[in-house]
Chains A and B, each alone.
Chain A
Amino acid sequence: MKILSIFTKQKKFEEQLLNGEMEYSSYYKDSFKRLKKNKAALFCLGVILFLVLLALFAPVVSPYDPTYQDYASVLAPPSSKHLLGADEYGRDILSRLIYGTRVSLSIGILAQILASVIGITLGAIAGYFGGAVDTLISRIMEIFAAFPDLLFAMAIMTFMGQGLQNLFIALGLLTWVRTARLIRGSVMQLKEKEYVEASKASGGTSFRIITKHLIPNCLSTVIVLVTLGIPNAIMYEASLSFLGLGIQPPTPSWGNMISSAQSFISFLPVYSIVPGIAIMVTVVAFNIFGDGLRDALDPKLRA
């Protein structure tokens, strides 16, 4: 599934990175030009920006406090008072949906940032030093990759307790391997390049070589990986919430909304359908934008 499609993308990226070090300024300029031509990706970028704004201005746009319990409106159907109805505590579903954007986006982004930090660090170390260090890190990566995802997340969440921070730590720990693999591969190939050799010869430290030369070369790849990883994290959040291991109440997230709406699906269908659609729209937007970004950063991959 996702992981593999990214994996195949990675292979192509590695090849691409192999084919030469690019001139960054013009490289990104060209990429941006290409991206501008991709209408679908631009539209999705618009959707993402809209979601980000919604998350930032949630207190302004929400009609109600998302945790305010209006006991007179328990399970009320959509009306002018509650546009999307009210949940089993009489809380406004629309407001919870809007605040849920915050949770879903921040989990997606923070988990990916964490995954990238771990992945880049370990991947670069493994790729640059090779030998025993590489073997050790590679085995760790294999173990993490083979460990059942949700089970691992369950264990982490049970260990650290539920909550937003713990959730993105768990999801970050779950997804760093992909990044690490890719960075390791790229670094292994790049370090043979002349300019790295030159830097070594002129006495550059390993740290300097890695951070100044190797990582910047992998940056575009990381950007794409992060973009495509966000929807995955959002899905994981939903799955974990469904298993009762999400964020603690009363914070709304789309995942825990779907989960608690399940009981009321035939009574108040909108309660379950709306957060489901929110997840879908967000995931679609990130996926298409991520694809577009990948195509733009690597013209050879356009299909």
Chain B
Amino acid sequence: MFQYISKRLFQTLLVLFGISLITFILLQVVPGDPVELMLEKRADAQTIARVRHELGLDVSLPQQYLNFLKGAIHLDFGKSYFTKEVVITALVRCFMVTVKLASMSFLFAVVLGVACGMAAAINRGKWIDSVLMTISIVGVSAPSFWIAIILQIIFGLKLDLLPISGFEGPVFFILPSIALGTRYAGSIARITRTSMLDVIKQDYIRTARAKGVKEGLVIMKHALKNAMIPIITLVGTELGNMLTGSMLIERVFSIPGIGKLAVDSMSNRDLPLLEGTVMYIAFVFVIVNLLVDISYAFIDPRIRYGKGAN
């Protein structure tokens, strides 16, 4: 297992390296020059040359990439071309916001999703089941930014119950969390229902029932515990997704998180900031995947990772 993890961590480094290279290449091929953008209105060739020099853009491309790598090894991604903010500082600042949104949406999605999935499984085949499953598939199918806009109008403006935008306190995160969490809640509900049903069918539950243990208790005690396996893996990945920020939700609700940072650095062609953001997102993704894979092995002893396994 230890060997497996260290091998995976080494692969992670390779992936991060590959991603930084792709990001660098993408920014070179995408039309648009940060310096031109910065000096849009009146600048002349001379100024542009000077600013390029200041930003270290006047050396050859491989050299630029090497310079970037040198810093990146020490987690120093440099400064944003535009804001001049140190990239790591910007990442931490946005992460602090994203983590709040992520944890609230996560909580919303898990609580609602597991509850609905359980209710549906217990009442399998009854109308409650159909209603809940219909709602959950609709939840999975509605574009989150569209839900966001509608929530803003209804709860923010018309009913005047909740803030429309901002991130000053927990109450500000309610609408964004619902908008972001709905899709996840829908898929958690569906997975919960499926895995609960799988477990309910199994022998030991029948045994427990036969022993006269009350239905509700059986489900709570045995079924949910065992059904948690796929739920946890799903939930793990989703937490990863949320931690990488939502570009659309953050935009609609004016929340300056990782998603906004990513979009802004892309549209500004702000290489250091974009590299930092992309590496962060990729890192979270890879680590979450690793944890999920490890948890497979832990949950299901039949899965073994060792030599030859991929």
Contact = CB atoms under 8 A, between A and B. Distances in A.
- Do any CB atoms of chain A lie under 8 A from CB atoms of chain B in the complex? yes
Interface of A: 1-5, 8, 138-140, 142-143, 145-148, 150-151, 154-155, 158-159, 231, 235, 238-239, 242-243, 255, 258, 262, 265-266, 272, 276, 279-280, 283-284, 287-288, 303
B247 interface: yes
A155 B277 CA distance: 14
A158 B32 contact: yes
Contacts of A235: 143
Given A139-B18, A155-B30, A265-B149, A287 B137 contact: yes
B29 interface: yes
Given A1-B187, A255-B143, 6 more contacts: A1-B184, A138-B310, A235-B143, A242-B248, A265-B153, A272-B149
**Interface of B, helix, strand, loop or mixed by DSSP:** helix
Contacts of A148: 244, 262, 277-278, 281-282
Nearest to A143: B18
A145 B234 CA distance: 16
B145 A242 contact: yes
Interface stretch (B43-51, B65-73, B93-101, B189-197): B189-197
Interface string B100-115: 0000000000000000
A280 B286 contact: no
B65 to A, nearest CB: 16
B286 A283 contact: no
B141 A283 contact: yes
B143 A276 contact: yes
B262 A151 contact: yes
Given A143-B18, A147-B278, A265-B149, A258 B143 contact: yes
Contact of B278 (A139, A151, A238): A151
Residue of A2, A243, A266, A288 with highest tally of chain B CB at under 10 A: A243
A1 B238 contact: yes
Interface string B142-169: 1101100110010001000000000000
A239 B145 contact: yes
B266 interface: yes
B244 to A, nearest CB: 6
A159 B29 contact: yes
A266 B156 CA distance: 13
B241 interface: yes
B122 to A, nearest CB: 15
Given A154-B266, A235-B143, A265-B153, A145 B285 contact: yes
Contacts of A159: 26, 29-31
Interface string B21-35: 010001101111000
Contacts of B234: 1, 4-5, 8
5 contacts: A143-B22, A155-B26, A243-B247, A265-B153, A284-B137
A127 B19 CA distance: 23
B145 to A, nearest CB: 5
Contacts of A280: 138, 141-142
A279 B142 contact: yes
Given A159-B30, A243-B263, A303 B194 contact: yes
Contact of A143 (B15, B31, B198, B238): B15
Interface in B113-149: 137-138, 140-143, 145-146, 149
B142 A276 contact: yes
B138 A284 contact: yes
Contacts of A147: 19, 22, 278, 282
Interface string B235-265: 0011001001001100100000000001100
B285 A146 contact: yes
B108 to A, nearest CB: 14
Contacts of A151: 247, 262-263, 266, 278, 281
Contacts of B141: 231, 279-280, 283-284, 287
A258 B248 CA distance: 13
Interface in B185-234: 187, 190-191, 193-194, 197-198, 230, 233-234
A276 B146 contact: yes
Nearest to B241: A1
A211 to B, nearest CB: 24
Contact of A5 (B19, B190, B262): B190
Given A148-B244, A279-B142, A287-B141, A142 B11 contact: yes
> Top 4 closest A-B pairs, CB basis?
A283-B141, A146-B282, A143-B18, A303-B194
Nearest to A279: B143
A142 B286 contact: yes
Contacts of A138: 310
Contacts of A265: 149-150, 153
Which of A231, A239, A255 has most chain B Cβ within 10 Å? Answer: A239
Given A142-B11, A158-B32, A288 B198 contact: no
A182 to B, nearest CB: 13
A155 B145 contact: no
Contacts of B266: 151, 154-155, 158
